[in-house]
Amino acid sequence: MKIMTGINWFKYSSPPAFYPLAGLLIPWFYTLATVFAAVGLYISFAVAPTDFQQGEAYRIIFVHVPAAWMSMFLYLVMATWAGFGLALNARLSHMMSQALAPTGAMFTLLALVTGSLWGRPMWGAWWVWDARLTSELILLFLYIGFIALQASIDDPRRADRASSLLALVGAVNVPIIYFSVKWWNTLHQGASISMTSAPKMAITMLTGMLMLALAFWMYSIAVALVRVRCIILERERRADWVRQLVEVKF
Amino acid sequence: MNGAWIAVVRRDMLLALRRRSDVATTLFFFVIVASLFPLGVSPEPALLRTLAPGVLWVAALLACMLSLTRLFAVDYADGTLEQMVLAPQSLTLLVLGKVFAHWLVSGLPVVLLAPVLGLQYAMPNDALLVLVWSLLLGTPALSLIGAIGAALTLGVRGSGLLVALLVLPLYVPVLIFGSGAVAASQSGLDAGAYLSLLGACSLLALALTPWATAAALRIAVE
Amino acid sequence: MHWNSLGEFFAMGGYAFYVWTSFGLTAVLVAWEVLGLRARRNQAWRDLQQARLMDQTDLGEAR
């Protein structure tokens, strides 16, 4: 705790202080992501045995499940930054939530496509309206709405605050949507094979998924930091400190 | 406090009366969409009966959404909205008044017209009653949630399509519970649970969304 | 290691298409995002540099 209070964290809430810090952190998060990905891939292809029911196709869940986790988690993180942005009127928080949105949308898309690639051999259909895939689809719409609103408002301050408000509204709705889709799904037809129904190798599978989830997480942080730096450069190009930055670099 | 609320509702109703064509457009849209489906699918009554809950609910949802862009746009253009934001009365309350007027003009007519369209779909009488109930309980939530989208996209280029993109995903629970209620009643099940959930959605929307809409309006006007 | 040969590993018990498309798509999306961001950052730098050059010439003319 002492160390925590020793450093003035608020200093880094301003773009001029944050920009170089982010630059220092990015390589570390990329490295961590690579290491976790290597371990995760090793577990998912070399350690985890063949599933007697689903054959080798079940290995898809090693990317599908972490991508699905990440898509929901990133929406939550995005909404949290949006909330900070609105409450503290901090433009860096708004920028963070905007930097996370494309990565979140990418993981949502990845979860959708891998889910359907897993579903084809298992269910015999590319698309099944099961609870997980359906709520992922709606989550993708929410991400796209956020990005579209942010992109179509010209005044950056208004775009920040409007899209942040939308992110909060979406975050309140996500649990309601998830519940309603689940309810709807159980009434119509339950998915015949659950994605995580392999009892014997629960531990190996969970470790593999956890490793890849960690890899995705570290990757998301790295990419979000790179993107937020781009946003800062684009937005604050008139600021003195950005101009000095250019002079140092060239 | 109440006076301002009633004044907003009365003013919006008067404006709507003066521009009756807007109201008529919403209703015609609802009727046309619902009438296209039998033409596109088949006139077979048994098939239409299974399609009816979903089609009528989706049509109602789209009709409500279409009228959303007009909710604040006129006030935004002529500066009334700025006055409302600066007014001593609570903006949340004024928003509630406007949303209520929007529901009276676009939600309620849809509710009243739905049973007629249900007859086209060969729905039994008790299912028609559930349809009316579900729409009556669900359309306020549509207006309330939609108001956030309308406020966020004020004065934005291409706002009509953007509103659809923002609002339709948020309508999913209302659609599921609404059409679910009608479908349950058609297959002889009790629709009570669905209707309660639908009512809960509207109450939750009533508690939370006017506040969010007011915040969005402040952002738009600033 | 339960793979007897490299061919067996790539065959994935007959599910090669599904498994390798999933993992391949992940790699493609990640690479696309990383490279896209690199391009965006370079573009931002170029814009800034250009703005700086234009400022300098403006100053020169003013003098």
Select from A144, A180, A187 the Cβ nearest to the Cβ of B165. Answer: A144
Look at residue B8 and tell me whether its pLDDT is greater than 90.
no
Q: Is C1 a member of any domain?
A: no
Q: Residue C20 sits in which domain range?
A: 6-62
Contact B115, B132 (CB under 8 A): yes
Q: What's the pLDDT at C11?
A: 77
A-chain residues near B156 (CB < 8 A): 149, 152-153
Look at residue A202 and tell me whether its pLDDT is greater than 80.
no
Domain locations in chain A as residue ranges: 27-249
Taking alpha carbons only, the member of C21, C29, C41, C38 closest to residue A216 is: C29
Lookup: tokens for A144: 């796209």
Q: Please state the rounded mean pLDDT for residues A219-246.
A: 89
More confident residue, A144 or A8: A144
Lookup: tokens for A150: 């942010």
Does the reported pTM lie above 0.80? Answer: yes
Look at residue B36 and tell me whether its pLDDT is greater than 50.
yes
Local confidence band at C63 (pLDDT 50, 70, 90 cut-offs): very low
Q: Is C58 a member of any domain?
A: yes
B-chain residues near A160 (CB < 8 A): none
Q: Please state the rounded mean pLDDT for residues A166-182.
A: 90
Q: What's the pLDDT at A200?
A: 53
Question: d(Cα A216, Cα A32) in Å, to the nearest integer?
Answer: 10
Contact: A237, C47; criterion CB under 8 Å? yes
The single residue listed with the structure tokens 């054959």 is: A55
Query: Which C residues in the span 3-62 are in contact with A, Cβ-Cβ below 8 Å?
Result: 3, 9, 12-15, 18-19, 21-23, 25-26, 29-30, 33-34, 37, 40-41, 44-45, 47-49, 51-52
What per-residue string of b and e applies to B125-156 under the rule 16 or more CB within 10 Å gives b?
Answer: eebbbbbbbbbbbbbbbbbbbbbbbbbbbbeb
More confident residue, B199 or B74: B199
Q: Which of A185-199, B63-77, B151-165 has the lowest mean pLDDT?
A: A185-199
Look at residue A40 and tell me whether its pLDDT is greater than 80.
yes
3-state secondary structure of B10: helix
Local confidence band at A183 (pLDDT 50, 70, 90 cut-offs): confident
Select from C18, C41, C52 the Cβ nearest to the Cβ of A117. Answer: C18
B-chain residues near A181 (CB < 8 A): 172, 176
Local confidence band at A1 (pLDDT 50, 70, 90 cut-offs): very low
The single residue listed with the structure tokens 């939609």 is: B146
Q: What mean pLDDT value characterizes chain A?
A: 85
Query: Which A residues in the span 125-144 are in contact with B, Cβ-Cβ below 8 Å?
Result: 138, 141-142, 144
The single residue listed with the structure tokens 């960690």 is: A214
A-chain residues near B222 (CB < 8 A): 158
Minimum distance, in Å, between the CA of residue A143 and any CA atom of chain C: 16
Residues in chain A: 250
Verify C-B touch: 3 or more CB pairs within 8 A: no
B216 touches chain A (CB under 8 A): yes
Contact: A184, B176; criterion CB under 8 Å? yes
In degrees, rounded to 5, the angle at the alpha carbon of residue A132 between the alpha carbons of residues B162 and A189 is 110
Q: Which of A143-157, A191-205, C27-41 has the lowest mean pLDDT?
A: A191-205
Q: Please state the rounded mean pLDDT for residues B14-27.
A: 83
Residues in chain C: 63
Domain locations in chain B as residue ranges: 2-221
Q: Which of A114-118, A120-124, B141-145 has the lowest mean pLDDT?
A: A120-124
Q: Is C38 a member of any domain?
A: yes
DSSP A46: I
Question: d(Cα A147, Cα A154) in Å, to the nearest integer?
Answer: 13
Q: Please state the rounded mean pLDDT for residues C42-63.
A: 76
Minimum distance, in Å, between the CA of residue A227 and any CA atom of chain C: 7
Lookup: tokens for B125: 């009488």
The single residue listed with the structure tokens 């009608």 is: B182
The single residue listed with the structure tokens 């498994």 is: C19
- B162 backbone dihedrals φ, ψ, rounded to 5°: -60, -40
Look at residue A121 and tell me whether its pLDDT is greater than 80.
yes
Q: Please state the rounded mean pLDDT for residues A133-155.
A: 93
Q: What's the pLDDT at A7?
A: 56
Q: What's the pLDDT at A9?
A: 62
Q: What's the pLDDT at A192?
A: 45
Q: What's the pLDDT at A93?
A: 93
Give the torsion through C-alpha atoms of B50, B54, B56, B62, to 10 deg: -160
Q: Please state the rounded mean pLDDT for residues B48-53.
A: 90
Percentage of chain B lying above the pLDDT 90 cut: 54
A201 touches chain B (CB under 8 A): no
Best residue in B69, B157, B176, B222 for a mutation probing chain A (most A CBs within 10 Å): B176
**Other CB atoms within 10 A of residue A155 CB:** 12
Local confidence band at A2 (pLDDT 50, 70, 90 cut-offs): very low
Q: What's the pLDDT at A45?
A: 85
3-state SS record for A82-93: HHHHHHHCCHHH
State which residue of chain A sits closest to B177, comparing Cα positions.
A180
State which residue of chain B sits closest to A187, comparing Cα positions.
B180
A-chain residues near C59 (CB < 8 A): none
Select from A141, A158, A162 the Cβ nearest to the Cβ of B169. Answer: A141
Q: Please state the rounded mean pLDDT for residues B61-68.
A: 90
Instruction: Work out the widest C-alpha separation in chain B, in whole angstroms.
Output: 58
Contact A75, A142 (CB under 8 A): yes
Integer CA distances (angstroms), A95 to A91, A204, A233, B60, in order: 6, 38, 11, 37
A48-92 pLDDT per residue, tens: 777 767 777 888 889 999 999 999 999 999 999 999 999 998 889
Select from A149, A165, A177 the Cβ nearest to the Cβ of B162. Answer: A149
Q: Please state the rounded mean pLDDT for residues A93-111.
A: 95
Q: Considering its fold, how many domains does chain C have in total?
A: 1
Question: d(Cα A59, Cα A44) in Å, to the nearest integer?
Answer: 7
